[in-house]
Amino acid sequence: MPVSVNESGIPSEDTVTITVNGKQIAAAKGEMIISATDRAGVNVPRFCYHPRMKPVGMCRMCLVEVSGPRGMSLQPACYLPVADGMEVVTDSEKVRKAQDGVLEFLLVNHPLDCPVCDKGGECPLQDQTLAYGPGESRFVEEKRHWAKPIELSDLVLLDRERCIQCARCTRFASEIAGDPLIDFFSRGDSTEVAIAPGEKFTSYFSGNTVQICPVGALTATPYRFAARPWDLEQVESTCTSCATGCRVVVQSSSNQVIRYLGVDSDPVNQSWLCDKGRFDFEAHRAGSRVTVPMVREGGELVECTWAEALRKAAEGIGRAMEVASDPSSAVGVIGGARLANEDAYAWAKLVKSVIGTDSVDADLGDGLPADAVLGLPKATIDEVCSAPLVLVMTPDLRELAPILFLRLKAAAQSGRTKVIELTSVGTALGRYATETLVYRPGEAASLVAALFADSDPKPLAAGMEIPPIAGVAASDVARTRALLAGFSSAVAVVGRPSLAESTEATVAAVAALSAARPETRYLTVHRRGNLHGALDAGLAPGILPGRVTLEGGRSTFAAESGWGRVPASTGMSTHEILRSAAQGSLGALILLGADPVVDFPDHESEKALSGGAFVVAVTAHLCESARRADVVLPAAMYAERGGTTTNFEGRVTTLGKKVTPPGQAWEDWAIAAELATALGSDLGFTSFDDIAAERTRLVPLFRHFTPHIWNAPSTRDGVLLPLATAPVGLTGAPRALDPVATPGIGSLPHHAVRPPSPSPLFAGTGTTGPSGAVASPGAVRFSRPASPPDLPAPDAYSLRLVAPYRLYDCGTHVVGSAHLAALAPVGTVRVNHYDLDRLGASTGDTLRAVSPGGSHQVVVEVDDEVQRGTAVMGFNLAVAEGSVSARSLIDLSAPVTDIRLEAHR
Amino acid sequence: MSGTPRTGAPFIVTSRTGDATRPPMEEGHTLNAYLASGGYQGLRKALTMNPEEVVAEVLASNLLGRGGAGFEAGRKWSMVRPNPVRYLVINGDESEPATFKDRMLMERDPHQLVEGTLIAAYAIGAAQAFIFIRGEFALGMERVIAAVNDAYRHGAIGANIFGSGFSVDLVVHPGAGAYICGEETALLESLEGKRGYPRIKPPFFPAAIGLYGEPTVVNNVETVSNLPWIVSNGGAAFAALGQGRSTGTRIFALSGHVVRPGNYEVEMSKLTFRDLIFDPELGGGVRGGKSVKAFIPGGASAPWFGPDQLDLPLDQDAVGKAGSMLGSGSVIVMDSDTCAVRAAWRIARFFHRESCGQCTPCREGSGWIDKVMRRIEDGQGREEDLDLLMDACDNIAPGVSWPPAQTTICVLGPSIPSSVAWSIRMFRDEYLLHIKEGACPCP
Amino acid sequence: MAGLTPENLARARETVALYPQPRSALIPLCHQAQAQEGWLTPDAISQIAELVGVSAAEVRGTASFYDMLHLEPVGKFLIGVCTNISCMLGGAYELLAHAEDRLGIRCGQTTADGTFTLEEMECLAGCDGPTCVAVNYRYFPNQDESTFDTLVDDLAAGRLDGDVPCHGTVSRVDRTVTLMAQRDEVLAERAASDRARSERQAAKEAKG
Ligand SMILES: Cc1cc2nc3c(=O)[nH]c(=O)nc-3n(C[C@H](O)[C@H](O)[C@H](O)COP(=O)(O)O)c2cc1C
Ligand code: SF4
Ligand code: FES
């Protein structure tokens, strides 16, 4: 039966009609009155209600008159579901009296210190008091007093006198974040929010409590007293701290980024942000920021003009190009995931057409290969979170993509989605998963094969036990296999679970799944913000912009109206580029916001920059690698440039430029354009729009993707490429930002990235296209390796290394943000107590780790979440004096890294 | 005196038949004494019946809940949603000021409570029952736990009770000191190990979504203590006592300025408040021969009555119609020397201290009212305070009438005005005198 | 600081087993921890959190809702004077003032020697004997100034040790029987009896 959809977007068979203030409106069966009135544009004041959390009906601010069996009565609009024929009155004398009353009661114990309160000017309590409140307070008694702000954590402070006990923060912590570390304490009007003695509110999501607090009770240390709301300007943007692509507003004052707030983007972050994304804006003004071009003179980096830096860079690159027969073996380019899509396109053109090298790689040996990211059938976050069954083969998503973790957790908790997790170490998702199978690092492929085999494994001989598979008990495999067999269409979230296992090992697991269940769709997750956008622009060996292979795109791009030329053959990956540089056979190396010295999972990565290659670093921060470069070109950061970005779903969203780059930093596309000129060529770009226009013209994937698409309200959440038709339709009503859900967004003037200009092009309706690969000839396809890599047999004395990402690490953004830097853990090697006892060692001891990278000191720690025979060390963490970080232990050319721990002598 | 049996004061009678088979209360808590007086015969009889026949007897008895709301027990049982998992929770949190009947029932006749609980469990088909006992009731807790231990060994609880094939577990759960946990949904939260926050009705009617989200019956201690008698003697015998909807006997907890404060079990509807207070065998009159200035007919949550209402019968509907409630069955008597402001303030202070804090009007309103009342009693009042108090009451219970409307989740909120608003209405002059003289004028 | 002793830990596990969901045991376990230490030590809170599967913040938050659960140490004898309406009408506030004088502390405080803590209580359901005083929740009704003094003397001298157990002991009687084991069987039996009930119902309706 066709389901018709009414204006409000609700299928009509689930619709009821209610009367609000005499007007009939449609509402979805089961929804609360308040969401129906919100949609109808009827404002009902509220405090405790938050559209993204279960209602509690506590504050009583939303009382409205509702018809019932015993006539009209006051009921909480946030807690009463609509019923057909229900009559609701929101503006009667009785309602106003009740609202007046509640507000007056709320102010009874409120300090009314608005002039010194961070929230003053964007405070729902203040705003609603003006709109609905009594003229003045009749309260003349002594107010409740608490000691002024107390620290809930390093990031969040609590002023209890201002708290109105709405329980938004405590509910967020337990219900949404799953970190019930704050709770109400005491009773009645002594109720306060508190933590347990000796504990802190250490949650990756703590900043959200500050965002949703409807008063000034919770404040964030990085924002405190930084600005007054009326001084703030804001622009909508997309967070690129990880690849989830959460929608945010960037707020600034006096050309300084001051605050990020999460925007309620239904398909992505649903208003939440992780603390890293929220607070790493301090990196914009970090001391390590590069603001002036520099060249190496007499062994030192010295400041110079752009002209000179460009000239030097062009010289170095030109020399390398001259001596080599094939530019792909002479010039390597690493990075690009930091760029906006348009920057990436300009760089791709510079690199592949002007310089002519195909040795460019935005992936730093830590993700899935480009053919997997671009070529596997895609699933969106929504599809993953509404699937009945999801297979998750990723690192701990709370560390890698915190908001994706929240979405999956919510899906699992709702009972809608069963999560089956394959992992080598315990993850935060494990608590919510239906099954967690812990396999031996590197051996996911054989586990996947067994899970999808036609039958259960047999014992080797009658009467013998069935041996475990990849370290997983046969009974667990059988149980999970049965569960998987019950689901016809699988959805999988895949990513590189550990940087100590090679890409091949991960790809083999994906290949096993794709062979067994070809219909599977994938959400490929990676850490680097705009990796997908960089790959879409062709910043990887063997591909051209638009998810096509070098061969597939050659005719278009090499043509005269295109780029003129493209590389002749497939170039090197990052690992190969670095190896070639280390061996002294690379002429020039361009680092595009990449820091391979510390950020590449191989013990030899450091050597690359001392092999004699001419190094150009395009960077915002003077990172380890940039310090060793010959030319350093200062680039604009996140909030300093516009354009678009692409998350791991392949969703393209806008970036907002809010502040100007410091000093002489330039946007990356401009650097590409000028470098091309210095190289005696011309990219043909003098503006962003030039780039977008060429891309739309040349790249089928970007067909219909014009700047105008952002005028449609439905594209606020981004678009999935390719777009099926132009124009993008006006489906769905524009979502009003709820000023009480996120105070500080709605109360500010809100300007979209581009002012809407009505265009005749967009009068019709259409929809965004299906997610997936381009159907054009030459599309990148996932290439299944013939067989999984050979793994060394586990030996009794070795520990297999797992090097997972940690949210707070030594990346430039964390290090550059003082409030976050303090939260980064120290890197230790964590092992099961059994393996440590054997060595007679205990937590805190320094041991010798013998690895392919040599023999080094490490500090060990007992962690029984770690399996026996496994060692876990977070990647890119600071370590104790004299010991080494995970990178120094990893051998990326082997499928897995085994290490041996030895007591010191 | 309608032949209702009573023996000595302060006292309680748990047999309605007037026969002398029941042991004296002081030893009545042991299993042997209970068995000797015919204990557990009601349960044995119930187990020979179908559960719905037991429900039918209770429906016939028209037993009204004794916890405060006065809902028919049989009807409540019939409303439990069908679902193999069902819970029975007995409310022994008795904390309504001036109510002390459940404590005596638990301390003095714990086996009767256990037997009644088991009958109720059988009737609704619960496999797990809890008796939630107010934490402060240390002696009651000890007696009921001992009774449960003995009853298990006697074969009355656990698997296959008395060989009937019916099984039920019974766990005694201690409260920890919070009046609001007497409210049935807060009680369930507390029993789930949480802060005692009342749940919102709808949708959280225990019979539909109760303990752990499963259908649950919550009954008061006194309510179920009636069941052994009702099953043994038949619902009709119970219904023959009393009048109209107020059937059977009921225990009234009488306190305040009376000569003989105590629990009195009397036939419902047949006596008046005047009888209860003045009968020499009951309250014995007002202390010092003074007159009644006011009385509260149903616990601290109930609106006050003046002497002109003394002749109302002890009847749920009659009291309801007159603008208050029989509530928890506790009658507080204030003599002519009582300071109405002070008495009302003390009750307001109670609600302030016991508000759970969820709802703004209750949390903040109770504290505000407490402070203003205190100020008036201390002689620091202003004339506009009276209007302010009435308006604050109106913002908690719009209209300030009975039964109350409410802006809050549970009815603790609208209980706040019961003493404050009604005392202002009844004794406005006395309030004004406090304000004018700048002191409490009472002796 | 002290957590539960091994015996009490074992007892705590038995208590958890009494409930369909572990968190239900949170308050009983708080009582048990208090029976041992007189108050809820941070260690005990962490232990209880682990036993019932919640965070320490949730145990603390829940416990703090309840008047009987103490997050700070209290005296050996917790003397509670009810001042609610019935006792007030019988002179409770006068007695409370006397108690403050007699003990030399204000309401809510503990004597320097840690023997007595004085609290103003809400109605203890001892209204037939105003003023009702509870010592470690053992009731002493009908108190006046002179009986109160005697009570305090007796407590201090240990003469009431038999009647008044150490603070935190809610019940000196323990549960001695375990639950029936076969929950599933019982639920099956319950489902069967539900079916029988609806059949009887149907039969009745067919007849009527
Ligand atoms: C604030 C408040 C306190 C209550 N306290 C008690 C109580 O202490 N004991 C009790 O049995 N019922 C109390 N009740 C009533 C219970 O919610 C519930 O109606 C009763 O336990 C049901 O049992 P019954 O039907 O047998 O009366 C209270 C209700 C409210 C609103
Ligand atoms: S009315 Fe008072 S006691 Fe009842 S839920 Fe609201 S705040 Fe709590
Ligand atoms: S009660 Fe509805 S918004 Fe708070």
Q: Please tell me the number of the ligand nearest to residue A51's CA.
A: 3
pLDDT by residue (tens digit) across A811-828? 999 999 999 999 999 999
- Band (pLDDT 50/70/90 cuts) for residue A833 is very high
Element (H, E) at A375: helix A370-375
Phi then psi dihedrals of residue B103, to 5 deg = -60, -45
Query: Which pLDDT belongs to residue A214?
Result: 96
More confident of the two residues A232 and C2: A232
Residue of B179, B188, B201, B362 to mutate, ligand 2, most atoms within 8 A of C-beta: B362
Question: Which conformational region is residue C72 in: left (phi greater than 0), alpha (psi within -120 to 50 degrees), or beta?
Answer: beta
pLDDT at A210: 97
Contact A187 B357 (CB under 8 A): yes
Using pLDDT thresholds of 50, 70 and 90, give the confidence band for residue A771: very low
Rounded distance, CA A338 to CA A344, Å? Answer: 9
Residues C144-180 pLDDT 10s: 999 999 999 999 999 999 999 988 899 999 999 988 8
Q: What pLDDT score does A775 carry?
A: 54
Confidence at residue A765, expressed as pLDDT on a 0 to 100 scale? 30
Q: Is the pLDDT of residue A533 over 50?
A: yes
CA distance A874 to chain C (A): 26
Q: What pLDDT is stored for residue A148 in this prediction?
A: 83
Cβ distance C128 to B100 less than 8 Å, yes or no, reads yes
Domain made up of B340-437: CATH architecture: Up-down Bundle (1.20)
B242-335 classified as CATH 3.30.420.40: no
**CATH class of the A295-366+533-742 domain in this structure:** alpha beta
What confidence score (pLDDT) does residue A737 get?
Answer: 64
Q: Note whether A198 contacts C: Cβ–Cβ < 8 A.
A: yes
Distance CA C187, CA B215 (A): 14
Mean pLDDT, range A853-873, rounded to an integer:
95
Contact state of A185 with C61 under an 8 Å Cβ cutoff? yes
pLDDT at A755: 32
Using DSSP, state whether A419 is helix, strand or coil: strand
Residue-wise pLDDT for A58-113, tens only, equals 999 999 999 999 899 999 999 999 999 999 999 999 999 999 999 999 999 999 88
Token pair 């549970």 is found at: B410
pLDDT tens digit string along A188-215?
A: 999 999 999 999 999 999 999 999 999 9
Question: What pLDDT, on a 0 to 100 scale, did the predictor assign at position A418?
Answer: 96
Q: What is the pTM of this model?
A: 0.94
CA–CA separation, C132 and C82 (whole Å): 6
Strand partners, C78: C117
pLDDT digits (tens, 9 = 90+) for B173-227: 999 999 999 999 999 999 999 999 999 999 999 999 999 999 999 999 999 999 9
| Confidence at residue A226, expressed as pLDDT on a 0 to 100 scale | 78
Is the N-terminal amide bond of A76 cis, ω within 30° of 0?
no
Say if the Cβ atoms of C31 and B174 lie within 8 Å: yes
Question: Do A361 and A371 meet the contact criterion of CB atoms below 8 Å apart?
Answer: no
Q: How far apart are CA A28 and CA A14, in angstroms?
A: 6
- From the alpha carbon of B414, which atom of ligand 2 is closest? 1
CATH of A14-91 given 3.10.20.740, 3.30.420.40, 3.40.640.10, 3.40.50.1970: 3.10.20.740
Q: Is residue B328 over pLDDT 70?
A: yes
Three-state secondary structure call for residue A495: coil
Taking only the tens place, the pLDDT of each residue in C98-137 is 999 999 999 999 999 999 999 999 999 999 999 999 999 9
Q: What are phi and psi of B262, to 5 degrees?
A: 165, 180
For A369-379, give one letter per residue: b (16+ CB within 10 A) or e: bbbbbbbbebb
Task: Give tens-digit pLDDT for A552-563.
Answer: 999 999 998 899
Indicate the burial class of C206 (C-beta count within 10 angstroms; 0-12, 13-18, 19 or more).
Answer: exposed
pLDDT for position A773 = 41
CATH code for residues C6-71+171-196: 1.10.10.1590
- Which of A651, A785, A717 has the alpha carbon at shortest distance from A263? A717
* pLDDT score at A11: 54
Give the distance (Å) from ligand 1 centre to CA of residue A66.
27
**How confident is the model at residue A300, as a pLDDT?**
96
Q: How far apart are the first and last CA of chain A?
A: 77
**pLDDT tens digits for range A609-627:** 999 999 999 999 999 999 9
Give nearest CA residue, ligand 1 atom 22: B219
Considering only residues B82 and A413, tell me which one the structure prediction assigns the higher pLDDT: A413
Residue A120 Cα to ligand 2 midpoint, Å, equals 29
Distance CA A692, CA A685 (A): 10
Q: What type of residue sits at position B337?
A: D
Smallest Cα–Cα separation from A738: which of A24, A15, A53, A20?
Answer: A53
- Band of residue A7 on the pLDDT scale cut at 50, 70, 90: very low
Provide the 10 A C-beta neighbour count for residue B159: 17
What pLDDT shows up at residue A729?
A: 45
Smallest-distance ligand from the CA of B182: 1
Mean pLDDT along residues B78-105: 93
The pLDDT of residue A609 is: 93
Q: What is the CATH number of domain A371-524?
A: 3.40.228.10
So what's the architecture of C77-157 in CATH?
3-Layer(aba) Sandwich (3.40)
Can you tell me the mean pLDDT for B407-421?
97
Helices C56-63/C42-52 angle, 10° precision = 110
Phi-psi region of A393 (alpha: psi -120 to 50; beta: other; left: phi over 0): beta
User: What percentage of chain C exceeds 70 in pLDDT?
Assistant: 100
- Give backbone dihedrals phi and psi of C133, rounded to 5 degrees, phi first: -120, 135
Beta strands A331-335 and A588-592, pairing class: parallel
**Min Cα separation B47/chain C (Å):** 13
Cα–Cα distance, B38 to B229 (Å, whole number):
10
Query: Closest Cα of chain A to B372: distance in Å?
Result: 8
- pLDDT, average across residues A148-159: 94
Neighbours of A231 (CB within 10 A): 13
Average pLDDT over residues A405-419: 96
- Tens digit of each residue's pLDDT (9 = 90 or more) over B94-105: 999 999 999 999
Query: Does ligand 2 lie within 6 Å of residue B328's CB atom?
Result: no
Task: Quote the percentage of chain A above a pLDDT of 90.
Answer: 78
Cis peptide before A45 (omega within 30 of 0): no
Does A809 score more than 90 pLDDT?
yes
pLDDT band at A462 (very low <50, low <70, confident <90, very high): confident
The overall average pLDDT reported for chain B is 92
For residues B345-370, one letter each, b for 16 or more C-beta atoms within 10 angstroms of the residue's C-beta and e for the rest, the string is bbbbbbbbbbbbbbbbbbbbbbbbbb
Q: What is the CATH number of domain A799-902?
A: 2.40.40.20
What stretches of B317-392 adopt beta strand conformation (E)?
330-335
Instruction: Compute CA distances A824 → A154, A730, A807, A808, A821, whole Å.
Output: 12, 44, 8, 5, 6
Is the pLDDT reported for residue A760 higher than 80? no
C-alpha closest to that of A193 among A223, A161, A222, A221: A161
- Per-residue confidence (pLDDT) for residue A815, from 0 to 100: 94
The residues spanned by each domain of chain A are 14-91, 295-366+533-742, 371-524, 799-902
Q: Determine the Cα–Cα distance for residues A526 and A647; give it in Å rounded to an integer.
A: 9
Alpha carbon of A60 to ligand 3 centroid (Å): 5
A890, amino acid identity: I
pLDDT value, residue A905: 59
Q: Check CB contact under 8 Å for B127 and C122.
A: no
Query: Domain residue spans in chain C?
Result: 6-71+171-196, 77-157
Q: What is the mean pLDDT of chain A?
A: 90
| CB contact at 8 A, B165 and B45 | no
DSSP state at residue A896 = B
Number of B to C CB contacts under 8 A, please give it.
Answer: 213
B356, B364, B406 ranked by CB distance to A187: nearest:
B356
Taking residue A395's Cβ as centre, other Cβ atoms within 10 Å add up to: 26
Tell me which fold the domain B15-238 belongs to. Rossmann fold (3.40.50)
Which pLDDT score is estimated for A434?
97
- pLDDT at residue A325, rounded to an integer: 84
Q: What is the pLDDT of residue A447?
A: 96
Q: Do B363 and A165 touch (CB under 8 A)?
A: yes
HSE, side-chain direction, 13 A CA sphere, residue A184: 24
Percent of chain A residues past pLDDT 70, beyond the cut: 93
